[in-house]
């Protein structure tokens, strides 16, 4: 049991570190970093467990902000909580359907839709009305795109990658720490 606990912590830390490294390239394109981060979240949930996925889901936006915050996050740091919530929804959906032999990919699709709904809804109905005064129209439009349809697309890309990789990863001896 102690050995499994050590493996879970080690894998979670390694996946979190990989996630933070990937996020350092966020200025290249949201469509490069977004799918990679979402893929890491999905793999963490499915291979290491729900706790691992949620830990990375919450800590990665905090660490990204502390290391190299985007201009938008500097203006509205409340976005960190929104990203964490969207990530958490994606992780829960991927984790919940991981045991479905042929339909596990539905967790990725449901997660992508749910993540976009949480993030777009949270931005439009909570953050912008409460904290959006610091943003101009162009910044609001950018935030709406980044936290709306772009989240859906990047999560769907990650889901497609994970749908291809997961059956292969699951066969690697010792890769899955949680019974998948």
For 7-42, the pLDDT digits (tens) are: 999 999 999 999 999 998 888 899 999 999 999 999
pLDDT of residue 5: 87
Given pLDDT bands bounded at 50, 70 and 90, which one contains residue 101? confident
* Contacts (Cβ under 8 Å, ≥6 apart) of 115: 86, 87, 89, 90, 151, 152, 155
114 contacts 38 by C-beta, under 8 angstroms: no
Give the percent of the chain with pLDDT over 70: 98
pLDDT of residue 178: 65
47 contacts 99 by C-beta, under 8 angstroms: no
Query: Of 180, 160, 175, which Cα lies nearest the Cα of 50?
Result: 180
- Taking the C-alpha atoms of residue 149 and residue 117, their distance in angstroms, rounded to an integer, is 9
Tell me the per-residue pLDDT of 85-98, one tens digit each, with 9 for 90 and over.
999 999 999 999 98
Q: What is the overall mean pLDDT for the chain? A: 94
Structure tokens at 71: 């201009």
């Amino acid at each position: 049991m102690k050995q499994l606990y050590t493996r879970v912590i080690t894998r979670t830390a390694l996946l979190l570190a990989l996630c933070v490294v990937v996020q350092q390239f966020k200025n290249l394109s949201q469509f490069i970093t977004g799918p990679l981060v979402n893929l890491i979240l999905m793999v963490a949930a499915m291979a290491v467990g729900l706790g691992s996925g949620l830990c990375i889901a919450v800590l990665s936006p905090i660490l990204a902000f502390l290391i190299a915050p985007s201009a938008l996050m500097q203006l509205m740091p409340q976005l960190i909580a929104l990203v964490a919530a969207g990530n958490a929804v994606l992780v829960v959906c991927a984790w919940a359907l991981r045991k479905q032999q042929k339909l596990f990919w539905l967790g990725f699709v449901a997660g992508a839709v749910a993540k976009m709904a949480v993030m777009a809804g949270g931005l439009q109905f909570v953050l912008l009305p409460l904290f959006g005064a610091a943003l101009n129209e162009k910044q609001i439009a950018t935030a709406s795109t980044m936290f709306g349809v772009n989240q859906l697309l990047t999560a769907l890309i990650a889901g497609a990658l994970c749908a291809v990789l997961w059956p292969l990863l699951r066969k690697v001896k010792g890769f899955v720490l949680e019974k998948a």
